[in-house]
Amino acid sequence: MRHIPSVNEDASQPRRWTYCDATQLLCSNATAPQEEKEQFYEHLNRATDAVAFKDKLFVLGDFNARVGRDHQLWNKVIGRHGIGNENANGSMLLDFCVKQSLVITNTAFQQAKKLKASWMHPRSKHWHLIDYVLVRQRDLRDIRLTRVMRPTSAWSDHRMVRTTVLLSAKPVKCKHRAVSCKKLDVGRLKCDETCLALQKDLASALSSVDTVQWPQFKAAVFDTAAKVIGFRKTRHKDWFDEQYLEPAVCLMICTRSICSG
């Protein structure tokens, strides 16, 4: 998992992490000026655009927005199991999801309303869904469940939202390069002249080089042998040998005689 710049960070600075990107945010208050809300979504769009399209993206936080349940109008953005009615902040959030091809996972699973609502209005005592987990539409298949944890209690008046995700690590492909190992043509040592020449050159090479250490001794012997006898050349034998030539010719003549007859 990696962190992407939040709406208050510089999204132009490059980062070296990969695979999975997540950002957590707190949206402006519902009574905030419209210019402040638009500026917030401009920053959020820039932060989202900074993430590579091949990486998985998770956007989660308190948006102070209600997206409603009109899944036919907002196809592929909200699921069939939304709650409540859409408000102005919800429309801005939905427009952002359409632009970035995101889906609101809170509305994709059929469950009781008490497992979806995350905040209770202090005056009306009505429960609303304003805390969301957004992912790319193509990654919705990796989301197993998004639900509210009711028994949890913290300093916030919001209930914690938990998302279960199935992530599989990409296997690392190691590139192995076959090292070509040249073999000496030892068959040439059957010749007495070649053996004498090799002995003479080895004696000269070992006397002129410090061969106390094994690497120097090995290099001197190998270089001298390669110079005298050379390397073996691999030759593949033909599968069609001369011993099969005469029967094949006879078979062709017989076949031609039968066809002409």
**Res 198 pLDDT > 60:** yes
Residue type at 172 in one-letter notation: V
Q: Kindly report the average pLDDT of the chain as a whole number.
A: 80
What is the bridge-based pairing of β-strands 56-62 and 20-26? parallel
Of 18-27, 75-84, 243-252, give the range with the top mean pLDDT. 75-84
**For residues 165 and 3, which has the higher predicted lDDT (pLDDT)?**
165
Name the residue among 228, 186, 177, 187 with its Cα closest to residue 205: 228
Q: Say which CATH class 2-165 falls into.
A: alpha beta
Confidence of residue 231 (pLDDT cuts 50, 70, 90): confident
Which range is least confidently modeled, 21-30, 61-70, 179-188, 207-216? 21-30
Q: What is the DSSP string of 55-112?
A: SEEEEEEE----B-S-TTTTTTTS-TT--S-B-HHHHHHHHHHHHHTEEEGGGSS---
pLDDT, residue 1, reads 44
Confidence of residue 87 (pLDDT cuts 50, 70, 90): very high
Of 26-30, 150-154, 189-193, give the range with the top mean pLDDT. 189-193
CA 53 and chain centroid, separation: 11
State mean pLDDT over 103-132. 93
> H-helix or E-strand containing 250?
helix 245-260
**For residues 117 and 214, which has the higher predicted lDDT (pLDDT)?**
117
pLDDT, residue 142, reads 92
Sequence ranges of the chain with CATH classification 3.60.10.10: 2-165
**Res 71 pLDDT > 90:** yes
pLDDT, residue 12, reads 39
State mean pLDDT over 100-121. 94
pLDDT, residue 255, reads 61
